[in-house]
Structure 1
Amino acid sequence: MIREAVTCDRDACAALYLQPDDRPGLDLDELIERAGWVARPALLVRPGRDDQEVTGHTCPACTADRGPVLELGDCPACHGRAVDRLDGAHCLYCRTVTPHGDDEI
């Protein structure tokens, strides 16, 4: 299956959002907003062409000034590295908490 992906536009940030397999029919823009990503308009100037509006993205870690994401891992929001705690996996960057499944307790 081919999935859409979004990357953070901040310099040196490796954050990544992959469209989940289990969310068919939901719009990617809606999914990234739910995950804490910010879409922003930007101007792209090309020689010989008019300014064109494009969309840039900022990951939840950079939005909260806790980025850039330097190590990739299993965080569903930014793919940053997470550490396991009693209540779930905590992302070191965006601080998303992913509860443990019933089989992991």
Structure 2
Amino acid sequence: MIRTVITCEQHTDCRAIFLPPVDSGAVVLERAARAVGWRRLGATLHACPACTAGRGPVRDTGDCPNCGGLTITTPGDDRCRYCATPPTPPTHRHGDHHDAGA
């Protein structure tokens, strides 16, 4: 299957990619990307959330749903190394305890 994606053209070496969870048309794709921090640079050019915030370019790819960057563990939670987005769905590390009935 071929899917439409958005890539970052802010920096020539940025590897950011926005791949929506479902295949959609150009208008829906553009709206979804804008909602998570992507910015339009021209008719077909875009900047990722990391480059827009001055934390790019994305060089290490991973599982970030907003830019495709590497997710790292920080004190308290996991975040994208570049755009600071938490992974979705939220993950629980070994040792986390949740009492359902307490």
When normalised by structure 1's length, the TM-score is 0.72
What is the alpha-carbon distance in structure 2 between the residues aligned to residue 78 and residue 32 of structure 1?
A: 9
Give secondary structure in 1 for the equivalent of 2:44. Answer: strand
Assess if the C-alpha contact under 8 Å between 1:38 and 1:58 holds in 2: yes
How many residues of Structure 1 are paired with residues of Structure 2 in the alignment? Answer: 92
1:78 and 2:78 correspond: no
User: In the TM superposition, what is the alpha-carbon distance from 1:86 to its structure 2 partner?
Assistant: 7.1
What is the alpha-carbon distance in structure 1 between the residues aligned to residue 13 and residue 35 of structure 2?
A: 24
User: In the TM superposition, what is the alpha-carbon distance from 1:101 to its structure 2 partner?
Assistant: 4.8
**Amino-acid identity (%):** 40
Is the strand fraction higher in 1 or 2? Answer: 1
Aligned to 2:99: none
Aligned to 1:94: 83
Assess if the C-alpha contact under 8 Å between 1:88 and 1:100 holds in 2: no
When normalised by structure 2's length, the TM-score is 0.74
State the superposition RMSD in angstroms. Answer: 2.7
What is the alpha-carbon distance in structure 1 between the residues aligned to residue 58 and residue 48 of structure 2?
A: 9
Flag structure 2 segments of 5+ consecutive residues without an equivalent: 97-102
